[in-house]
Amino acid sequence: MQGKKSLKYQVEPGGSLNGTLRVPGDKSISHRSIMLGSLADGVTEVTGFLEGEDSLATLNAFRAMGVEIEGPHAGQVSIHGVGMHGLHEPEAPLDLGNSGTSMRLLSGLLAGQGLAVTLTGDSSLSGRPMMRVIDPLTRMGAIIGATETGTAPLIISPNRHLKGIDYPLPMASAQVKSAVLLAGLYAQGETTVTEPAPTRDHTERMLQGFGYPVKRDGSRASLVGGGALKACRIDVPADISSATFFLVGVSIAPDSEMVLEHVGINPTRDGVISILRLMGADIEIENEQVVGGEPVADIRVRSSRLHGIDIPEDLVPLAIDEFPALFIAAACAEGITRLTGAEELRVKESDRIQVMADGLTVLGIEAEPTTDGLKIRGGRITGGCVESHGDHRIAMSFAMAALRASGAVEILDCANVNTSFPGFVHVANQSGLHIRQSEVS
């Protein structure tokens, strides 16, 4: 993952988006399928797996710990589970690239295994806060070293003596919740997490799918350590976070209509639909069904006139990865959009409040960052050159902004789009965006 070539996007202004598209598999569910499949008894068959760099980092980490994994071949993966105690100590540090989910969930999953493991990542991941997982895991008895500033590399020492805790999450984070629950699988007694607001619940759902009892009571999720996982089949839905670029692109572009197929619409993830509808978007949910414990549907979206809103704070955790794209929708909306209660955006793959405000300003849009959000006044988008800071979601969001720009939009540092949306440039072009990528030396 080191020494990646720098990529830039050049997006011509204007155009419409049309057609039917299945975006790649859900990143969160893909990570978890490898993790739980590896610890299960038997062979777990996964379809729709995201072949992006983040979920492949998780896959490679488990291979390095002795798990036989076939694929991915066109989204199919077979994981030969080694059981709860069958992982081997890896010979080298596990390089998790850009993936916060891999690092945080693995620290919980590995904390009580009795293995010595070091977790490393790229420069973005090495700057992200890890005390949020180290704190509760240490309370459970884990021994995890980090840098003085609480960042990776994380050094996990062998230990098999975790005890369950009752942990109130200080922030609405599914990664922290999942890290504690995964450590809880190896802890004595019961482990409970209470969340301040609902966050994505794929870990709880998938544990249940693998036959592991999880008690859920409002904002609390509990499990008792010492059980086992039974292999199962997992059909990974298309990622609503990747579909979001098209939901926004179609909404802001003229004469556009798309159907995004088989998208995961888990209610802990569907905030983007609620927010866009509040802004006046034309979105219909079709063919709703439940697949492997996760709600899935086709989403039809058409061009619309958007207007600015005050984004309700209770929707923030339900759309946490979608704000870069929603800021582009706000830039194209009539009036002012205000986001508050979203300080978590400052510690994502980049500081998404600052980086989006800077890029929008370059493109002629008034954007005022605050500590916990952003105020955007809709207006005319000009052409210009923006920095994505290696953040996949920033790069794809600004690509969609070109649909309403008066000049070409150039976006720098786009190679990390491959972490979550391999093939983005190809499918965006097929749908009607005029986007080219080139290597920068």
The residues carrying an active-site annotation are 321
What would the two tokens of residue 197 be? Answer: 């607001």
Query: Which residues have CB under 8 Å from 217's CB, separation 6+?
Result: none
The sign one gets for the Cα dihedral 99, 395, 315, 238 is: negative
Number of neighbours of residue 161 by Cβ within 10 angstroms:
12
Pick 306 or 414: Cβ nearer ligand S3P: 414
Pick 151 or 382: Cβ nearer ligand S3P: 151
Number of neighbours of residue 153 by Cβ within 10 angstroms:
17
Give the DSSP H/E element, type plus range, for residue 302.
strand 294-302
Min separation Cβ 336 and ligand S3P, Å: 26
**CA 42, CA 78: separation in Å to the nearest integer?**
10
Pick 239 or 298: Cβ nearer ligand S3P: 239
Pick 52 or 378: Cβ nearer ligand S3P: 52
Pick 313 or 344: Cβ nearer ligand S3P: 344
The sign one gets for the Cα dihedral 289, 419, 409, 366 is: positive
Q: Return the amino acid letter for 431.
A: S
Of 231, 202, 224, 248, the C-alpha closest to 26 is 202
Of 308, 313, 363, the C-alpha closest to 340 is 313
**CA 159, CA 141: separation in Å to the nearest integer?**
8
Min separation Cβ 171 and ligand S3P, Å: 8
Pick 33 or 178: Cβ nearer ligand S3P: 178
Min separation Cβ 296 and ligand S3P, Å: 17
Of 6, 104, 98, 109, the C-alpha closest to 57 is 98
Number of neighbours of residue 186 by Cβ within 10 angstroms:
26
Positions touching ligand S3P (CB under 6 A) are 28, 101, 173-175, 178, 200, 320-321, 344
Pick 144 or 174: Cβ nearer ligand S3P: 174
Q: Are the C-beta atoms of residues 81 and 42 closer than 8 Å to each other? A: yes
Alpha helices in 263-321 (DSSP H): 271-278
Any idea how long the chain is? 441
Q: Are the C-beta atoms of residues 6 and 413 closer than 8 Å to each other? A: yes
Min separation Cβ 178 and ligand S3P, Å: 6
Residues pairing with 435 in the sheet: 11
Min separation Cβ 380 and ligand S3P, Å: 31
Number of neighbours of residue 234 by Cβ within 10 angstroms:
28
Q: Return the amino acid letter for 331.
A: A
Min separation Cβ 16 and ligand S3P, Å: 29
What would the two tokens of residue 213 be? Answer: 């009892």
Min separation Cβ 31 and ligand S3P, Å: 6
Sheet holding 384-387, edge to edge: 384-387, 409-412, 6-11, 435-440
**CA 182, CA 194: separation in Å to the nearest integer?**
15
Pick 25 or 308: Cβ nearer ligand S3P: 25
Min separation Cβ 56 and ligand S3P, Å: 15
